[in-house]
Homo-oligomer: A and B are copies of this chain.
Amino acid sequence: MPQNLNKTLRTLCEDIQESDIGKKFTFKGWVMHYRDHGGLIFIDLRDYSGILQIVFDENIDKESFKIAKKLKNEYVVSITGTVRKRPQGTENTGLKTGSIEIISESVDVLNTCEVLPFQIDEENDVNEFTRLKYRYLDLRSKRLKENLIFRSNFTYLIRDFLNNKGFFDIETPFLTKSTPEGSRDFLVPSRLNEGHFFALPQSPQLFKQILMVSGFERYYQIVRCFRDEDLRSDRQPEFTQLDMEMSFVETEDIISITEDLFALIFNKLLNIKLEKPFKVLDYDEAMDKYGSDKPDTRFELLINNLTDTFTNSALNVFKDNIQKGGVIKAICLPNGSNLLSRKDIDELLNIVKDFGAKGLAWTKVGENGLLEGGIAKFISDDEREKTVARLGAKNGDIIFYQSDSKKTAESVLGRLRLHLAKTYGLIPEGRFDILWVVNFPLFEYSEEEKKIVSVHHPFTSPAEKDLNKLENNPLSVKSDSYDLVLNGEEIGGGSIRIHDTKLQGKIFEILSISPEEAKAKFGFLLDALSFGAPPHGGIAFGVDRILMLLKNENSIREVIAFPKTQKAYCPLTDAPSVVKDIQLRELGIKLRETAGKNLKSE
């Protein structure tokens, strides 16, 4: 709760209670909801604690009333007056100070305000570019103010918890080295070292591992990270991460401290009791049932495997796909026949094509478990019975099928599942489902690069039980890693790291990274590992995303004080901007002779 810095000079609006009736105070803040009722003028005075009604009465103080006549919304004023009870019937129960008001005895205008481009607290009508351009007005809205105060409480609570657990807050550099992989690095030309560049960190990963080698054992940082991505989804070029690393720990230790932390956050900030331990899903199970490594478990609509049912399908596309090693998987939308028109079903076809599907087979479920429409006529009685039983399908449901490779079928149905849930309101409001996904594969084969790549990063430790498979079947090796998922969004992830240089060398070999390349990329970490590195592991959380979810916002921009647009532009400050040639000359760089694309338009 706000405390007064300077009690002698000023009282905060929400510090006043009924017990103060008859006493005189001075308040400072902004004019809201100006109402002129003839001989009486009312305003709501807003300061950072809240709102208080002020009355200017011509019969009580002429001078105040005269000044009040000239007040406008968002003027800044200092008001001295006496607390009184509001007349019966005029109380505002929605306001903490709704039973009292201040009768003004003196008012000073501390500042005026130009005509507002939009009204405070009515920003919903305003386009986002304008809101961001006048962010200082936008931030006066109750919603954004509460979001940022929530954010401040959130990070403080985390620091308090970790400090009490013996963690050290250690700052790592922002001006650091670009790695050849760092194609999404922001670069910073060095003036003192012309022709050389720093990179802004995508994460403090290497430094936190170095800190473990240094013996700090329990590190955390709430730290800005940078990634120069094409901002298709809801991302920002700079984002905030809660970064943790611990020595002499195993997965269970990291999971346990994370659960304690999130239980505390939910309890203190949302008054919600999370049950511990959290649900744990195996990666394979998550992909199998939800078609996603960040499953949204707030609703059912599970994916089922029907491959064994359709081995001898009359549908050649099913049969052939199974023979090639593919799968038939399906989801069943309850009451789908009533929810979706034939046109809706046709439109779904286009949607799943965007998800990478070749097509979308479907059947409606009729009485007595009969299937109708779509591919129903190609389904035998036996197939039908098994399908209906496995999916628990009921009269009025629709079943959607995918016949494809396991990867594609699961990914398409996973995305279709989310699409249907959002479109048909299957996601319960105000519910928080938090769970772990574990046992990720260590590697995957990249079709793009035509080689084995890391699923997380090359310092992730293989699961001990799979060490013997590294040589002959690396793609079957699981990793000692874990992702935390909230309402279908990945909010954190981490792993136990490799602390053994020989094992690290083996991993680089599998990743086709030569010793020379490894030295150039990660030399200092490899060196460090050879000087007595302890077993260690850690986790990092996306602060902006977590806050967005906890505050039930649609975009991380609503929980960031000064976000950039989807085009990485700041309408408030006009950044990025052109700079003087002399600045570039000092840095030893110049612009290429290309017409600079300008993405600043709305």
Report A's interface with B, CB cutoff 8 A: 1-3, 5-6, 9-10, 28, 30, 46-48, 74-76, 110-114, 116, 134-137, 139-140, 145, 148-149, 151-152, 155-156, 159-160, 163-166, 168-178, 180, 182-183, 185-200, 206-207, 210-211, 213-218, 224, 226, 228, 230-231, 237-238, 240, 246-250, 252-253, 256-257, 499-500, 523-524, 527-528, 530-535, 560-562, 564, 567-570, 572-580, 583-592, 594, 596-600
B567 with A48: CB separation less than 8 A: no
Task: Flag if A192 contacts B113 (CB, 8 Å).
Answer: no
Return the contact of A170 from the options B136, B152, B196, B247 (Cβ within 8 A): B152
Contact between A587 and B187, CB atoms less than 8 A apart: yes
- A206–B152 Cα distance when bound, in Å, is 20
Chain B's closest residue to A561 (CB) is B170
> Can you list 26 A-B contacts with CB-CB less than 8 angstroms, sorted by A residue number?
A1-B166, A6-B248, A6-B250, A48-B218, A74-B531, A110-B535, A111-B500, A111-B535, A136-B210, A137-B531, A140-B214, A151-B171, A173-B238, A173-B570, A176-B573, A178-B575, A178-B579, A187-B579, A192-B597, A193-B596, A196-B596, A198-B575, A224-B224, A523-B574, A588-B596, A590-B590
Known: A28-B534, A173-B238, A174-B238. A166 touches B248 (CB 8 A): no
| Cα distance, A583 to B188, chains bound together (Å) | 12
**Residues B569 and A193 in contact, CB atoms below 8 Å apart:** yes
Known: A139-B211, A215-B30, A228-B191. A116 touches B587 (CB 8 A): no
Q: How far is the CA of A524 from the CA of B133 in the complex (A)?
A: 9
Cα A190 to Cα B574 in complex, Å, equals 13
| Cβ contact within 8 Å between A145 and B111 | no
The residue of chain B having its C-beta at the shortest distance from the C-beta of A230 within the complex is B192
Residue pair B139, A214 in contact (C-beta under 8 Å): yes
- Determine chain A's interface SS by DSSP, over half rule: loop
Q: Is A249 a contact of B156 with CB atoms below 8 Å?
A: no
Measured between C-beta atoms, what is the minimum distance from A179 to chain B in Å? 10
Rounded to whole angstroms, the CA-CA distance of A214 and B142 in the bound complex is 11
In the complex, what distance in Å separates the CA atom of A599 from the CA atom of B191? 11
Q: Is the CB of B152 within 8 A of A169?
A: yes
Nearest Cβ distance between residue A23 and chain B, in whole angstroms? 20
Q: Which residue of B lies closest to A207 (CB)?
A: B562
What is the minimal beta-carbon distance from A155 to any residue of chain B, in angstroms?
Answer: 6
B177 touches A575 (CB 8 A): yes
Nearest opposing residue in chain B for A598, CB measure: B193
Q: What residue in chain B is nearest A253 (Cβ atoms)?
A: B6
Pick the contact of A48 from B149, B173, B215, B257 — CB < 8 Å?
B215
With a cutoff of 8 Å between Cβ atoms, the chain B residues found around residue A46 in the complex are 215
Given contacts A176-B570, A178-B579, A562-B207, contact A215 B534 (CB under 8 A): no
Report whether A217 and B47 are in contact in the complex, using a CB–CB cutoff of 8 Å: yes
Contacts A166-B1, A210-B135, A596-B588 given: A186-B175 contact, CB under 8 Å?
yes
Shortest Cβ distance from residue A195 to the other chain B in the assembled complex, whole angstroms: 3
Q: Complex formed: what's the CA distance from A53 to B203 in Å?
A: 38
Check A591 against B195 for contact (C-beta < 8 Å). yes
Does A597 contact B194, Cβ atoms closer than 8 Å? yes
A198 nearest in chain B by CB position = B576
Question: Apart from A5-B256, A113-B530, A183-B586, what are 13 other A-B pairs with CB-CB below 8 Å?
Answer: A3-B165, A5-B249, A47-B217, A74-B532, A111-B500, A111-B533, A116-B531, A134-B531, A173-B562, A175-B237, A175-B568, A176-B573, A195-B591
Docked CA distance A187–B2 (Å)? 38
Known contacts A2-B166, A226-B174: does B135 contact A214 (CB below 8 Å)? yes
User: Do A168 and B148 have beta carbons less than 8 Å apart?
Assistant: yes
Give the residue among A151, A176, A196 with the most B Cβ atoms within 10 A: A196
> Please, how many angstroms separate the alpha-carbon atoms of A183 and B586 in the complex?
9
Smallest CB separation, A585 vs chain B (Å): 7
CB-CB under 8 A from A567, the residues of chain B are 192-193
Measured CB to CB, the closest approach of chain B to A353, in angstroms, equals 28
Expressed in whole angstroms, the Cα–Cα distance for A165 and B7 within the complex equals: 12
Q: Report A6 CB to chain B, min CB distance, Å.
A: 5
Complex Cα spacing A244 to B58, Å? 41
Tell me, in angstroms, the Cα distance from A237 to B193 when the chains sit together.
Answer: 12
If A111-B499, A588-B594 touch, does A196 touch B577 (CB 8 Å cutoff)?
Answer: yes
Contacts of A253 in B (CB 8 A): 5-6, 9
When C-beta atoms are compared, the residue in chain B nearest to A1 turns out to be B166
Q: Bound state CA distance, A414 and B198, in angstroms?
A: 39
Known contacts A75-B532, A152-B170; A189/B187 CB under 8 A? yes
Q: Are B175 and A564 in contact (CB under 8 A)?
A: yes
**CB pair B215 A140 closer than 8 Å:** yes
Flag if B74 contacts A578 (CB, 8 Å). no
Q: A194-B596, A214-B140, A568-B193 are in contact. Are A175 and B238 (CB under 8 A)?
A: yes
Partner of A589, one of B111, B573, B592: B592
Task: Closest B residue to A189 by CB, please name it.
Answer: B187
Measured between alpha carbons, how far is A199 from B587 in the docked complex, in Å? Answer: 13
Chain B residues with CB under 8 Å of A76's CB are: 532-535
Pick the contact of A561: B171, B187, B598 (CB < 8 A): B171
Interface pair B530/A114, CB less than 8 Å apart: yes
The 7 A-B residue pairs with the shortest CB-CB distance in the complex, in nearest-first order: A195-B596, A139-B214, A113-B532, A177-B575, A196-B576, A2-B166, A74-B532
CA A246 to CA B170, docked complex, whole Å? 27
Query: Which residues of B sit under 8 angstroms from A190, Cβ to Cβ?
Result: 568, 576
Known A193-B568, A193-B569, A579-B197: A213·B136 in contact at CB below 8 Å: yes
